[in-house]
Amino acid sequence: MDDRFSSETVIKSIDLEWEQQRAWVEIDRAALVHNVRQVRSLLKPDTQMMAVVKADAYGHGAIDVARTLVAAGVDWLAVATVPEGIELRAAGIVAPILLLGAIHTDIQVRAIVQWNLQPTICTIPQAITISKSVAALNLDKPLNIHLKLDTGMSRLGANWQQAETFYREVSSLPYLKIGSLYSHLATADAIDRTVMDMQLDRFARSIAAIENAGYAPPLLHLANSAGILTTDRSHYQLVRPGLILYGLCPAPHLQSKIDLQPVLSVKARVSQVKEITAGTGVSYGYRFIADRDMQIAVIEIGYADGVPRRLSNRMQAIVRGQLVPQIGTITMDRLMLDVSQIPDLQVDEIVTILGRDGSVYISADDWANEVETISWEILCGFKPRLPRANKDEEPKNA
């Protein structure tokens, strides 16, 4: 067979050539750096920053985002799973990486050691198991681990009332070195601060109990994005921003605390333009019927790429700087727009599905409000099928 048409060659050339792309996620690295600086400006000079890049950097593409963040002065990275950590290491990233997840089978512990990742430990039995796995590997230095307390989230972590026992027991184990003590806030984005204050208090009391027993946790951390914005009492020696680095705010009432620039946009191409007459149904189930003669465009992005199907008939896109309505059910791979206002729209033109075009902007918060979820879920819903492109390296409409 002609080598130029082997499956690998074709897939690779489609991956590389912009003319072939049907849709993609565009990353604005300058915005990412701007957001790092904005977060930094809220911290005391010696507070470290751990950028949370789990879930493919909230759908932005973990490797490029992590590289940009590290170059911008972020001290640590955090991911959820071992493979997410390995992906960064394999790409040559050397910053310390915390694993926020807490499943550590024997094979995972081997991978953690081999790839120089730092696991979270939430229970004493888990610490014992990991200590044994590490012992079996005959290392010349202990494994850095991080202890997590549950101060009110009721998710991962040892109960804060057992903080001292937990710390003491783990400290006594061989082959493990405690790198930090941390907890996670459940309601830092709420206007009512009661629960957050309770968690701050519990974390402080846990630390006091550990210190009274003669231990000195080397690094303390608590704050997610909302915690960072709400109170510097949550900052301790390190903060763990996720969402705000990507330029979205955890809650409207926190917007004024920081000047953020959204990092991600989503673009897709027009694959067909057609006229339909009044009364014509559009897409599965005919959930849209044209009430007049109209011009519609087929756009090559669908729910399999991360556009929620629940946005059907409820979203807009930006075509040549103008908002146009989406019509009919969003399908797996494509959706339709009413482009009656844009009479000479061409096949292959690029439209903005999410993000800015000219003076018009559609944000992940707009989508989230429409489908009753949060911007976090919208962002990490963008699938690997969408290539990630840097803003300056992608095609523009002629």
Ligand X SMILES: *Cc1c(COP(=O)(O)O)cnc(C)c1O
Residues annotated as binding site? Answer: 155, 332
Residues in the chain: 398
SS3 137: coil
Judge whether 35 and 26 are in contact, CB under 8 Å. no
Determine which residue in the list 65, 79, 100, 342 makes contact with ligand X, applying CB under 6 A: 100
60 interacts with ligand X by CB under 6 A: no
Which residues, in sequence order, are CB contacts of 31 under 8 Å at separation 6+?
A: 247, 261, 262, 263
Quick one: which of 217, 241, 306, 308 contacts ligand X (CB under 6 A)? 241
| Catalytic pick among 54, 236, 267, 303 | 54
Q: Quick one: which of 52, 97, 109, 297 contacts ligand X (CB under 6 A)?
A: 52
Q: Is 119 in the site for ligand X (CB under 6 A)?
A: no
Comparing CA positions, the residue from 311, 363, 375 lying closest to residue 337 is 311
184 touching ligand X, by CB under 6 A: yes
Give the integer Cα–Cα distance in Å for 236 and 387: 37
Beta carbon nearer to ligand X, 225 or 326: 225
Q: Is 303 a catalytic residue?
A: no
Closer to ligand X by Cβ: residue 187 or 326:
187
Give residue number: closest CB to ligand X.
Answer: 242
Nearer to ligand X, 224 or 326 (CB): 224
Tell me whether residue 158 or residue 339 sits nearer to ligand X (CB atom). Answer: 158
Phi-psi region of 393 (alpha: psi -120 to 50; beta: other; left: phi over 0): alpha
Instruction: Please identify which residue in 25, 72, 82, 243 interacts with ligand X, judged by CB under 6 A.
Output: 243
240 interacts with ligand X by CB under 6 A: yes
Residue whose CB is less far from ligand X, 85 or 241: 241
Piece of the chain touching ligand X by CB under 6 A; list 33-41, 242-250, 279-287, 366-374:
242-250
Shortest reach from residue 200's CB to ligand X, in Å:
15
Asked if 118 and 97 count as a contact pair (C-beta separation under 8 A), the reply is yes
Interaction between residue 225 and ligand X (CB under 6 A): yes
DSSP per residue over 259-298, as a string?
A: -----EEEEEEEEEEEEE-TT-EESGGG-EE-SS-EEEEE
Measured CA to CA, the distance from residue 36 to residue 31 in angstroms comes to: 9
| Coil, helix or strand at residue 309 | helix
Closest separation between CB of residue 90 and ligand X, Å?
A: 22
Residues in contact with ligand X, counted by CB under 6 A, come to a total of 12
Q: Is 85 in the site for ligand X (CB under 6 A)?
A: no
Q: Which of residues 249-278 bind ligand X (CB under 6 A)?
A: 250
Q: Which stretch binds ligand X (CB under 6 A): 103-111, 223-231, 299-307, 367-375?
A: 223-231
Strands (E), the chain: 23-27, 48-52, 76-79, 97-99, 120-121, 143-150, 158-159, 176-182, 220-221, 238-239, 264-276, 281-282, 288-289, 294-299, 316-319, 322-327, 335-338, 350-357, 360-362, 388-390
242 sits near ligand X (criterion: CB under 6 A): yes
- The C-alpha atoms of residue 76 and residue 238 are separated, in whole angstroms, by 9
Sites for ligand X among residues 1-40 (CB under 6 A): none
Residues whose CB is less than 8 angstroms from the CB of residue 286 and which lie 6 or more positions away in sequence, other chains included = 328
Annotated binding site for substrate: 155, 332
Task: Say which of 12, 274, 284, 286 is annotated catalytic.
Answer: 284
Tokens 């027991």 sit at which residue? 169
Catalytic residue at 361?
no
For binding to ligand X (CB under 6 A), which residues are involved?
52, 54, 100, 184, 224-226, 240-243, 250
Q: Looking at the annotation, which residues are catalytic?
A: 54, 284
